[in-house]
Amino acid sequence: MTGDYVVLGEFQMLPVESTGKLSANFTTCTAALEALGARVHKRMVIRDATVHLRCLGDLKASLDDAHSTTDKMEMITDHIAAMHSEDIIKEIQPAVETSLAMVLEDVANKFLKHIPSEMVFPN
């Protein structure tokens, strides 16, 4: 997962400002999908889907291309981001889960569209 970030703050009364790309890797995770279906015109559709990520091991996030006003502040920004990588992941995870749910819901509905209703709702 990649995205843009902005950091505005202070560290020991020194300004910390940084912008750049954020990257996080969720490849050690599995996704559990909960889907709420409905029967619409003799056809099954997914009305709502929720994804819950279950991750093994430590997840890491990094602020790529971090830059600050001085080299020392750039080093401190990198260090603080590495220390709080898990917190960054916890903030990002709901957005990843929502995105996956939307994609999986769309894929499931396209797949269900091509299944005859007799197979979904046998008599």
pLDDT at residue 100 is higher than 70:
yes
Contacts of 8 (CB under 8 A, 6+ apart): 16, 17
* pLDDT at 23 (0 to 100): 85
* pLDDT at 51 (0 to 100): 92
Averaged pLDDT for residues 85-97:
85
* pLDDT at 10 (0 to 100): 78
Task: With beta carbons less than 8 A apart as the criterion, state whether 58 and 89 touch.
Answer: no
For the stretch 67-88, pLDDT in tens is: 555 666 667 767 777 787 788 8
For the stretch 30-69, pLDDT in tens is: 888 888 888 777 777 888 889 999 888 777 777 776 655 5
Tell me the C-alpha distance between 122 and 28, whole Å: 38
Which CA distances in Å does 103 have to 21, 29, 78, 96? 23, 17, 33, 11
Contacts of 85 (CB under 8 A, 6+ apart): 58, 59, 60, 61, 62
* pLDDT at 98 (0 to 100): 92
What percentage of the chain exceeds 90 in pLDDT? Answer: 7
Domains identified in the chain and CATH numbers: 2-120 (3.15.10.30)
